[in-house]
């Protein structure tokens, strides 16, 4: 590795003409200059291409691509295509509405130099919600795999800088997932990499994740449901392959999280199907599957009866 290795920053985007300029400005402002920025458009219908073109025309380190037509639509496909185009020794994924602090690359490369070779390194971020900012502290843990399996996602996608060869070995992101892309790739990387990574808990934040409200909870719930239908069996298979089958039980936290935040926005058939998925993959027992399903259906039945009674009385 040279003293100034090339870092590839990969940005998937879709209809972000009003936001992506600030994201690209944060890349341009880096005090570490040996980088390339690869923007992969997911089929924007606004002027995103024109905005990116102004940067590419001024600085040859910016590259703009369209997602290939034969690739699945979505951010993960765009990230994978960017990975295919990347020439860097290291890779950072940045969403097109988030930003890097100007010291981000320099700080990360310096820490990489100070540590032994790893497959990936993780740094804290700041979360912005409107005018409010809060640092996403990463607690010190003996095993971050357990945290991610337990639905405690302690860092975002831009917090990680990857060794490009390792990332290509694990074949990047799974483009089939409509949600849960971040936990899936990190769990897979922790398992495949035999925990060969480092988390810098005490570093100051070097990126800002902009938290956006969920505009359509019903659509979001459907995407989350579809992702869980893939995520649970995939992760269970990997845990079994790595002789960690007892840790499958931890995935129940994803079911609890889904019920709490999105259960009321989910059709009952999907909810029952989700209980079945967690049972079939031995995340929950038969007794718990029966109890959860029965309780859920009874509550739905009582709610339906109450609604009909209320309508009848109003008439």
At 60-102, the pLDDT tens digits run 999 999 999 999 999 999 999 999 999 999 999 999 999 999 9
Residue-by-residue DSSP string for 255-311: HHHHHHHHGGGS-HHHHHHHHHHHHHTTSS-HHHHHHHHHHHHHHHHHHHHHHHHHH
Q: Which two tokens stand for residue 6?
A: 């090339």
Number of domains present in the structure of the chain: 2
Round to whole Å and give the CA distance between 134 and 121.
Answer: 21
Residue-wise pLDDT for 224-276, tens only, equals 999 999 999 999 999 999 999 999 999 999 999 999 999 999 999 999 999 99
Nearest CA among 90, 123, 100 for reference residue 1: 90
Q: 197: domain CATH number?
A: 3.90.550.10
* 1 in a structural domain: no
Contact 63, 38 (CB under 8 A): yes
| Predicted model pTM | 0.93
Indicate whether 121 and 81 sit together in one domain.
yes
Confidence of residue 307 (pLDDT cuts 50, 70, 90): low
Q: Yes or no: say if 205 and 135 are a contact pair by the CB < 8 Å rule.
A: yes
Are residues 255 and 293 in contact, defined by beta-carbon separation less than 8 angstroms?
Answer: no
Domain housing 177: 7-210
Output the average pLDDT for the chain.
94
Looking at residue 51, its pLDDT comes to 97
What pLDDT does residue 302 have?
75
Angstrom distance (rounded) from CA 66 to CA 13: 10
Query: 224 by DSSP, 3-state: which?
Result: helix
- Show which of 210, 235, 270 is a domain's final residue: 210
Residue 2 included in any domain: no
């Amino acid at each position: 590795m040279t003293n100034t290795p090339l870092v590839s920053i990969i940005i998937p985007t879709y209809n972000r003409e009003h936001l992506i300029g600030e994201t690209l400005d944060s890349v341009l402002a880096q005090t570490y200059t040996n980088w390339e920025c690869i923007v992969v458009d997911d089929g924007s219908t606004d002027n995103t291409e024109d905005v990116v073109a102004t940067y590419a025309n001024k600085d040859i380190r910016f590259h703009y691509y369209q997602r290939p037509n034969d690739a699945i639509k979505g951010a993960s496909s765009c990230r994978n295509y960017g990975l295919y185009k990347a020439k860097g020794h290291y890779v950072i994924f940045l969403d097109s509405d988030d930003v890097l602090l100007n010291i981000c690359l320099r700080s990360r490369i310096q820490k990489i130099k100070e540590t032994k070779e790893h497959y990936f390194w993780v740094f804290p971020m700041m979360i912005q919600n409107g005018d409010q900012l809060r640092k996403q502290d990463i607690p010190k843990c003996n095993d971050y795999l357990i945290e991610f399996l337990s639905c405690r996602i302690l860092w975002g996608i831009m917090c990680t800088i990857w060794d490009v060869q390792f990332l290509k070995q694990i074949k990047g992101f799974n483009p089939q997932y409509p949600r849960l892309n971040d936990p899936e790739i990190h769990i897979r990387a922790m398992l495949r990499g035999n925990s060969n990574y480092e988390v810098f808990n005490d570093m100051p934040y070097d990126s800002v994740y902009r938290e956006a409200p969920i505009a359509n909870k019903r659509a979001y719930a459907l995407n989350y449901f579809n992702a869980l239908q893939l995520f649970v069996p995939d992760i269970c298979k990997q845990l079994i392959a790595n002789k960690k089958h007892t840790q499958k039980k931890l995935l129940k936290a994803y079911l609890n999280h889904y019920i709490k935040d999105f259960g009321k926005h989910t059709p009952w058939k999907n909810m029952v199907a989700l209980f079945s998925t967690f049972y079939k993959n031995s995340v929950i027992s038969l007794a718990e599957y029966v109890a959860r399903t029965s309780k859920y259906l009874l509550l739905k039945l009582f709610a339906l009866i109450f609604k009909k009674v209320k309508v009848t009385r109003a008439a």
